[in-house]
Amino acid sequence: MNSSSKPTLIWDTSYDALSPTQRLNYFSERQHIHFFPVLDREMTEKAFVDDVLDNRFNFNGEVFLLTDPIDWLCNPSPDIEWHILLHKFYYAPGLGKAWVETQDRRYLEKWVELITSWMEQTPIDFIAPDVTGRRIQNWIYSWYYFVASNRTERIDPQFHDRFLDSIQKQVNYLCTHLAPARNHRTIALYSIFLASIVFPETTDAKHWQDFSLREIYQNVLQDLLPDGVQCELSTDYHHLVLKNYLAIRLLAKLNQITIQPEFDERLNRALDFAMFAHKPDGEVPSFSDGDVRSFEDCLLQGASLYQREDLLFVGTRGRQGIAPSQRNAGFDVSGYYILRSGWGQENTSYQDERYLMIDCGPLGEGNHGHFDALSFEAAAFGHSLIVDPARYTYHEAKEVNWRVKFRSTESHNTVLVDGKNQTRYLAGLKRYKIKGPQPVTQLHAFQTQRRVDYFHGSTQSFEYDALHHRQIAFIQGAYWIIVDSLYSASWHEYEQLFHLSTHAFQSVQTIQDENCCQVITPNLVIATPANQNHQLIVETGYVSKRYGEKKEAPVLRFRKRAKNTRFVSVLYPFKDGNPDIYVSIVEMNAGNHFEVNCLVYQKSGLGFADSCQFPKPELVTGENFSWDRKRIHSGDWI
């Protein structure tokens, strides 16, 4: 049954007695209900909605001119995600916003036309319940502009009744078809709660509100882990879910609905993760599935809701508020760890601070995890330097299966063993499936000191016998030493991988001599010891900041064949004028440490020598990292 069937009795008695015109006037004039639209930035821009006026839709880089009226059941794209976006109606609030700003009736008429044709053609259960949830939200947000905030020009009352009847049917459908867990369930529960707030006059509103609040309280404790990170362990999905919880909390506050304190406690932890995850340039890296984008609006909403000056500080990139009390943060349940040089409070601007985030946790629930144990992102001086290539697509029916490629271990900044994924991932009937256990990943040390920070984690895959330890020393908030140690009873081909950002494309220079190997890219020098006996390969890969779009970017492979071995790489970011860097490693047969020496010469000829004593990772009974520095002049070597 489609959603245009005869309207049912949806109103409490006093409102049912009104005519359609009286009901429309009532909703346009009432003042006691408080809600707000949440706009998708891209799909509500005027240029985007102007294309919608002509039935031209651009989703995920694919543009199609659709028939008039639209055939809602036909997908012009081979990618189901395109059809999903069409049915989620993110552009509908954009039509409303454009109408309020211009009073051009074309936007109102297109809104009525699109919703009318959708109701006439489309079954309530078309595609999936999570699509229904997003559509309910966007229909209500657009209704905010065309009806709730409209005091001058009325839409057709009969259409308005059909519109509200369809929303009721969709919400009731959603109540009985909730996803069992994760982001789809959260989206649906917010949609039901939103409808209960906006339409308390309907016969089902009390049930919607009681049901959604009861399920929201249970869901938030399952959806957000005790450390605050969303259980799918995707940084992008974390923030998309966070947006829904923030909207729930603000709606409750505006309409004087009491919320349990456990909800606020867990939501504040989720905001903590969001705050630390933001890079100095204001974007969030995409670990596992998702896009690369900013969620500073979430931080500002959280700052307003909870009067938190630290969220205001990060949400405004240091222009307002008070800086967080700590530089670094660890989220032990999810396995995310962030090392940061500061918050722009002293002689360094906010955007010039150094930042590194590493994944030392499980795959995450659901099917959004990438095979990226011990992978990291690094940024400095307003640029992302070492990046996660992100997801690019969910679509697998192409000559190159880009979904599989972007999800692979090879597409991350970790160590690749024999070209294999860390988790078995094989073709199924329709798409690739995880077919084996995920690796065992463990944190051994995460230490913050005044002049040096230290991280040590390990991962053991079930796809090979090699054990991978990664140690990171963050020296004086200026640069990182990455040490990867591999242990195995058999021979393997190991590749230490670094995926560079797009701004390094065709800008990679290599220098190799008897002392050191240097790779010089914009704003970053990567230096390795000459005696590591590795092969350096520079090749072209891809980075995707948005679904459906990929751009060329350099990939560095440091390759060697061994049983037991170590890779040592110094990552030294710079703002103006790259320094000369020399690295040596001294393996000590006796004792519990090995030594990494790093010489950094500035263009002035002055420099310093750092001597770092790393604990041997195979001896993890105690972590005692030490470091010493002395000043040197050009030509000195230790």
Convert the pLDDT of each residue in 134-178 to its tens digit. 999 999 999 999 999 877 777 999 999 999 999 999 999 999 999
Q: Which residues contact 212 (CB under 8 A, 6 or more apart)?
A: 189, 190, 192, 193, 196
Query: What confidence score (pLDDT) does residue 45 get?
Result: 97
- Omega prior to 69 cis, within 30 of 0: yes
Query: What confidence score (pLDDT) does residue 638 get?
Result: 42
Q: Which two tokens stand for residue 206?
A: 């009390």
Mean pLDDT of 506-515: 91
Question: Strands across the sheet with 440-448, in order?
Answer: 440-448, 452-460, 467-475, 479-487, 565-573, 524-529, 516-521, 509-512
Tell me: the pLDDT tens digits for 358-407? Answer: 999 999 999 999 999 999 999 999 999 999 999 999 999 878 999 999 99
Query: What confidence score (pLDDT) does residue 634 get?
Result: 60
Query: What confidence score (pLDDT) does residue 4 get?
Result: 46
Domains parsed from the chain with CATH numbers: 10-178 (1.50.10.100), 354-575 (2.70.98.70)
Query: What confidence score (pLDDT) does residue 449 get?
Result: 86
Q: Is pLDDT of 9 > 60?
A: no
Q: What is the mean pLDDT of the chain?
A: 94
Query: What confidence score (pLDDT) does residue 212 get?
Result: 97
Question: Computed over its alpha carbons, how large is the radius of gyration of the chain?
Answer: 27
Confidence tier at 635 by pLDDT (50, 70, 90): low
Mean pLDDT of 241-251: 98
Confidence tier at 11 by pLDDT (50, 70, 90): confident
Strand pairing of 467-475 and 549-562? unpaired
Confidence tier at 533 by pLDDT (50, 70, 90): confident
Confidence tier at 604 by pLDDT (50, 70, 90): low
Q: Which two tokens stand for residue 386?
A: 């070492």
Do residues 313 and 302 lie in contact, with contact meaning Cβ atoms separated by under 8 Å? no
Confidence tier at 624 by pLDDT (50, 70, 90): confident
Query: What confidence score (pLDDT) does residue 6 get?
Result: 45
Q: Which two tokens stand for residue 597?
A: 């020496």
Q: Provide the H-helix boundaries in 409-485.
A: none
Q: Which two tokens stand for residue 470?
A: 């990664």
Q: Is pLDDT of 418 > 90?
A: yes
d(CA 272, CA 339): 14
Lowest mean pLDDT among 109-118, 327-336, 338-347, 595-604: 595-604
d(CA 316, CA 295): 11
d(CA 381, CA 576): 10
Instruction: Tell which residue, 6, 25, 27, has the closest CA to residue 201.
Output: 27
Query: What confidence score (pLDDT) does residue 1 get?
Result: 45
Tell me: the pLDDT tens digits for 88-99? Answer: 999 999 999 999
Query: What confidence score (pLDDT) does residue 513 get?
Result: 84
Lowest mean pLDDT among 478-492, 506-520, 569-583, 598-612: 598-612
Amino acid at 430: K
Measured from the Cβ of residue 576, the count of other Cβ atoms closer than 10 Å reads 7
Confidence tier at 620 by pLDDT (50, 70, 90): low
Q: Which two tokens stand for residue 173?
A: 């459908």
d(CA 346, CA 439): 41
Query: What confidence score (pLDDT) does residue 5 get?
Result: 47
Write down the pTM of the prediction: 0.94
Q: Which residues contact 512 (CB under 8 A, 6 or more apart)?
A: 518, 530, 536
Query: Element (H or E) spanning 28, and its range?
Result: helix 20-29
